Structure 1
Amino acid sequence: MGASTTTNNPFKDQPHYLTKKFLPFALYCLLPLALLRLYFYPIPLSSPHYSLITTQNHQELEEESFYEINECDYTNGKWVRDKLGPLYNGTTCDTIKEGQNCISHGRPDMGYLYWRWRPKQCSLPRFDSTTFLRLIKNKHLAFVGDSMARNQLESLLCLLSSVSSPTLVYRDGDDNKFRRWHFASHNANISIYWSPFLVKGIEKSNTGFNHNKLYLDAVDNRWALDMNKIDMLVLSVGHWFLHPAVYYEGDLVLGCHYCPGLNHTEIGFYDVFRKALMTTLKAIIEKRKQIDVMVTSFSPSHFEGDWDKAGACPKNRPFKEGEKALEGMDKEMRKIEVEEVEVAKEKVTHSPNLRFEALDVTGLSLMRPDGHPGPYMYPFPFANGVPDRVQNDCVHWCLPGAIDTWNEIMLEVMKRWKAQLRRPTG
């Protein structure tokens, strides 16, 4: 019993034994299998994917990463502080209408420049001028509408000028109502067509009748005659429908809006606005087989007092989430536009090269009462004290400013369209 007994453990050196014996055996077995796999299924060095990599240049490969299908609801979000600020200023581009160049006109508060729209469901990238120019390469983009269309156009031109300087190649009409710019770097054209009703109209004047005349059954030929030369349309109207007007279909008077003294039936303007939009979208569908169309939704104004008082739109920061509801005329005008665009989309469901989209910016714009020129539509309006009367612009948008977000969202829609064309069918 005093003698010790040693028991040999057969598993004592098992890990070392397995490594030494079985690993080389496994490698010897896998090597022939790998050779057989290569023999029967060689790597397709001439496959489409490999050919794509070897033949496409770096820029085209880079494009692929941008074109993603993003179905995000950009209307649902809030304005958040942004330390980076705008991509341009009032001196980096010479296309800003004087009345919207708030910085050069001496607006003292700069806080309105440092906000970004943050959707709840996704991110909204900062505007990428290079990507936008790629998407309109060899194309003609036209903004058609009233002064809000021009406001958005001038924002876009300023954003793009950071990459490529456009050349003004055409100008006609008072107040720069018809213009075209050419981007030689991408052989792209961007135009503006003044057409405040989209349909045929005769505008009121100081020397003639004091109401507009709208012909709701015919589109405005000032832009429609060029439709076959346009690859992408951005339509933006609304505010001119609030003015006194008489409405026609052919020679038949349908009624009027605010026309005292005329023997016409008062019919308001909501149904007329819808009819004008229906006529416009129908004409596009009938005349074009390949075109992209965006309808920028109604842009709210923010008058809080008389237009000729200093505090007509005094806010200096956005409304907080839930602080301001979309209602009344703003809500109704936006509703009409979104509904009619959806009708148009249904009509072209089987026409992949004919696309419509509502650029729904009404809600996010409503939250920016601080974004208008106000009294700074004129240079240094309070340089000599506060005058008794000072005209305010609480309709249009300072540049740079909140309206730049419209073009950021437009770019995301264009990228989604591009991705959908690349997506395999069937």
Structure 2
Amino acid sequence: MMKGYRGKLPLSIITVTLCGFAFLALLYTERLSFLSSSSFLKSKSCARRTSAVVKAKDETAEKNLENPELDDRFEFDPEECDITRGKWVFNRSIKPLYTDRSCPYVDRQFSCVKNGRLDLDYRHWEWQPDDCYLPKFDPEVALEKLRGKRLVFAGDSLQRSQWESFVCMIEWTIPPQKKSMKRGKIRNVFKAKVLTPLTFEIFGQIPLFAQLDTPVAYKIGLKTWANWIDSTINPNKTRVFFTTMSSIHSKSKDWGREDGLKCFNETKPVMKKKFWGSGSNKDMMSVVAGVINKMKVPVSVLNITQLSEYRIDAHSSIYTETGGRLLNDEEKADPGRHADCIHWCLPGVPDTWNQIFLAHL
């Protein structure tokens, strides 16, 4: 009997593993000014004023401290702000910029409310970093920064959900006569002459192994990507962003729920600081840092893994589709088998990813 290989990946699916991460390319028509190294908190100088003016200014500053988005002294600096350290804060007043009913771009796979989810609290959590202020997503700012440029999302279905989130967050501000949508055919191409998993061949004296440790396999795939970026991308015209792995929550015992069924029926994030479940691989995160630090082309890393780790409540779960159809009642009654704890509801966690992306842009 063939034994399982824990921590191993078939060499033939290295490229599939690579899809667990994704990158964004922003194409410029003119020379790019890269991220500033200025502090995330800037105090602008001012001339001498009377005590009354100073007092009024102090009162205004106090109000602005309560609402940082109104205070132009607060500027996000990715060099100073560790976006991975923070907490999810519940705020009932938060309203998503779109819904899965109002935005035509949301796939049925991510349309949890349309698919029957009644609990809407997952929409009202916002990510607050510990040592800095993360600006709210402003669609007009996003459109202005992208004026005359092209934005490309490359990746798997998780990256597609981020693309849908981004488009939905900005499209409602554009007049109907100035936007259009054209859907093309989805093409899936799969060719296979022979499938020979868990084998290896030797050509000359060089063994070609068909299985590798997961981090090793991922490093090979990521280095191929990095070499292509370095040899193809002109950093004066194109900016590259790399999004780290999205969290998977398939083992409820990771967050202390022994009798749970994956992420099914979870309604709140994990509140334990630095929570890290079995669905994410820290060794692979180290591989990302090691490869990107050696690249010639600057790459902005959007580290969304830790903040996503906490969100056991925001997955599609049983409110999704499979094989092009919604789950039926029998499948919904078996969440241990059918709950999707990989993808996210929209609106939801991918909106925060785009909030971070815009802050880096």
The two structures have a TM-score, normalised by structure 2, of: 0.65
Contiguous gaps of at least 5 residues in structure 2: 1-71, 254-258
**1:253 CA drift (Å):** 7.0
**1:403 CA drift (Å):** 1.5
Does the CA contact (< 8 Å) of 2:317 and 2:341 recur in 1?
yes
- Return the alpha-carbon distance in structure 2 between the equivalents of residues 311 and 152 of structure 1: 26
Change (3 A) 1:373 1:248: farther
Moved more, 142-151 or 327-336: 327-336
**1:281 CA drift (Å):** 1.8
Match of 2:128 in 1: 118
Change (3 A) 1:384 1:275: closer
Q: In the alignment, is residue 297 of structure 1 matched against residue 235 of structure 2?
A: no
Match of 1:271 in 2: 216
Match of 2:263 in 1: 313
Match of 2:305 in 1: 362
Match of 1:396 in 2: 343
Give the number of the structure whose alpha-carbon radius of gyration is greater. 1
* Aligned 1:3-402 pairs, distance under 5 A: 68=75, 70-71=77-78, 72-83=81-92, 84-164=94-174, 166-169=179-182, 171-174=184-187, 209=195, 254-256=208-210, 266-289=211-234, 290-304=237-251, 311-314=261-264, 315-322=266-273, 324-325=275-276, 329-344=280-295, 347-348=296-297, 355-378=298-321, 387-388=333-334, 391-402=338-349
**1:92 CA drift (Å):** 1.4
Change (3 A) 1:248 1:326: farther
Match of 2:256 in 1: none
Which amino acid letter does the alignment assign opposite residue 316 of structure 2?
Answer: P
Does the CA contact (< 8 Å) of 1:86 and 1:400 recur in 2?
yes
Moved more, 369-378 or 321-330: 321-330
Does the CA contact (< 8 Å) of 2:89 and 2:126 recur in 1?
yes
CA displacement, residues 82-115 of structure 1 (integer Å, 9 cap, x when unaligned):
2213211111111112111001001121111110
Structure 1 vs Structure 2 CA RMSD = 3.5
Which amino acid letter does the alignment assign opposite residue 161 of structure 2?
Answer: N
Moved more, 333-342 or 377-386: 377-386
Aligned residues: percent identity? 28
Moved more, 310-319 or 147-156: 310-319
- Return the alpha-carbon distance in structure 1 between the equivalents of residues 280 and 100 of structure 2: 32
**1:328 CA drift (Å):** 7.4
Contiguous gaps of at least 5 residues in structure 1: 1-64, 176-201, 212-243, 257-265, 349-354, 415-426
Which amino acid letter does the alignment assign opposite residue 288 of structure 2?
Answer: E
**1:329 CA drift (Å):** 4.4
**1:140 CA drift (Å):** 1.2
Does the CA contact (< 8 Å) of 2:82 and 2:129 recur in 1?
yes
Does the CA contact (< 8 Å) of 1:248 and 1:254 recur in 2?
yes
Which amino acid letter does the alignment assign opposite residue 84 of structure 2?
Answer: T
**1:122 CA drift (Å):** 1.1
Change (3 A) 1:147 1:245: farther
- Return the alpha-carbon distance in structure 2 between the equivalents of residues 361 and 248 of structure 1: 41
Which one has more relative contact order, counting CA pairs under 8 Å at least 6 apart? 2
Change (3 A) 1:340 1:80: same
**1:203 CA drift (Å):** 5.4
CA displacement, residues 155-179 of structure 1 (integer Å, 9 cap, x when unaligned):
111111121264234624337xxxx
Change (3 A) 1:368 1:126: same
**1:246 CA drift (Å):** 8.7
**1:380 CA drift (Å):** 7.6
- Structure 1 runs of 4+ aligned residues shifted over 6 Å read 244-249
Does the CA contact (< 8 Å) of 1:106 and 1:380 recur in 2?
no
**1:387 CA drift (Å):** 3.3
CA displacement, residues 58-84 of structure 1 (integer Å, 9 cap, x when unaligned):
xxxxxxx79956131111100001221
Change (3 A) 1:133 1:88: same
**1:401 CA drift (Å):** 0.6
The two structures have a TM-score, normalised by structure 1, of: 0.56
Does the CA contact (< 8 Å) of 2:76 and 2:133 recur in 1?
no
Q: Secondary structure at 2:184's aligned position in 1?
A: strand
Which amino acid letter does the alignment assign opposite residue 144 of structure 2?
Answer: R
Does the CA contact (< 8 Å) of 1:299 and 1:330 recur in 2?
no
Does the CA contact (< 8 Å) of 1:312 and 1:392 recur in 2?
yes
Give aligned pairs, total.
270
Does the CA contact (< 8 Å) of 2:252 and 2:263 recur in 1?
yes
Does the CA contact (< 8 Å) of 1:90 and 1:400 recur in 2?
yes
Q: Secondary structure at 2:341's aligned position in 1?
A: coil
Change (3 A) 1:386 1:66: same
Which amino acid letter does the alignment assign opposite residue 104 of structure 1?
Answer: K
